[in-house]
Structure 1
Amino acid sequence: MRDSVGSVRTVLLLGGRSEIGLAVVERLVRDGAREVVLAARGGTAAPSVLTALGATVHSLEFDAQDPDTHTATVARGVDLVGDLDVVVDSFGVLGEQADYEADPASAARAAAVNYTGHVSAGLAVAARLREQGHGVLVVVSSVAGVRVRRFNFVYGSAKAGLDGFAQGLADSLHGSGARVLVVRPGYVPTRMSAHVEPAPFPATPGQVADAVAAGLRSGATTVWAPRVLQPVFAGMRLMPRALWRRLGR
């Protein structure tokens, strides 16, 4: 439950080992959150930085590939901390495009994690936020979905679907007291992206977290990390397709 001045008190992270997600949680704890639920497959240990900052951290089982459990997962989070002020949706896999093309079944499994898992989890969260009449679902999307590139189109197309789903979900929550914040980071150096060549305008997990915190304070519907990517991709959307195909990574 939010405190008397409206500060975030409770946070649920779906994707409890995500470096971006954990950076967002840490930032919210530094800003006053005190009850944290980290939901991950097999559970996860509480990072020492969160406990050192005074947060009570709970671990919860969450399987992105088992949509039948997602409503129960959200309910269990509520059992642990009460109303959910912020839910951070930050799970996914990156993988290699060449591997997906060589093994279409693996591509389908990755797409299920990166898109359909978010659909069932997002709807379960939205139902809870609508019921309690407040709260924000933070959806970590990607600029990879703004205009899908040939070198990672399996991942990018799933992110495009997620981005569209999140925007539609936001519209469905309008007037309920709950809302959705879509986050569009560019290249972020993490364990998941270690095999990917760095791209222009990178951001650290901490910088993404700062953008999320600013978006929560301002009531924004979308944030970019870094902000320069918004005009960059506005131009990329208008680029002729023949030229777009010739672009490298």
Structure 2
Amino acid sequence: MMIQKQIKTAFFATLVLFLAAPSGAVDTFPFPKVEFSADMTMTIKQAGTPQPHVIQGKIYSIKGKERREIYSFGRQTAIINDRDNDQMWTLMPDQKMVMANAHPGARKDPASMIRDGELKMTQMGTETVGGQKATKYKIASTDKADEDFSGYAWFNKQNIPLRFEGTASENGLRQDIEIEYANIVVARQDPQLFVVPADYRQMNADMGAMGTSGKTLTPEQMEQVMKMLKQKQDNN
């Protein structure tokens, strides 16, 4: 499979994977009011490619923490974001391996971006999404000349995401992104979902870095990591 060049900035990866609540003003950021889980479908269309890439997944959210499980290329990747302790991990359950995202930019959530003037959110009114009344927000990067992003997000009254769509570009390379959330269940979540299992091994730098400086991996980069892991396992 030919690996397409991807937009992989920390800003874009963080925004797409961890946008979990709206903001009515650029200086405030209310996070979800309840614990919940939901199915999600992410569709990424890169300029110059004939078909979009569709990623299926799950989201689990509790106060201060979020877990997203992504199913792509026949494999599962879990990403845990611990906002309270400023930590983020990428887990590969099939290999029982984990990579800590140490790069400060990779851990920035939308609240920090708004506070630091990197992201602007503007309330646009209300619409109905999936049968629910939703508040619509316009989202845009503000000071990234070569890393532009703009789009819209819809959230219900509990600040649970319902839909996201936008366009990101880096140095002229463009991707259109849509995320749909379905089967939303408001309920207590298992705290262990947000903890790295004790039997997971830390990924070595030569397997995990892939030129990303600790940033969240794109699906194509994750596939490269998986291939490298398989080769190492076959050689052992």
Shared fold, TM over 0.5: no
Greater strand proportion: 2
Greater helix proportion: 1
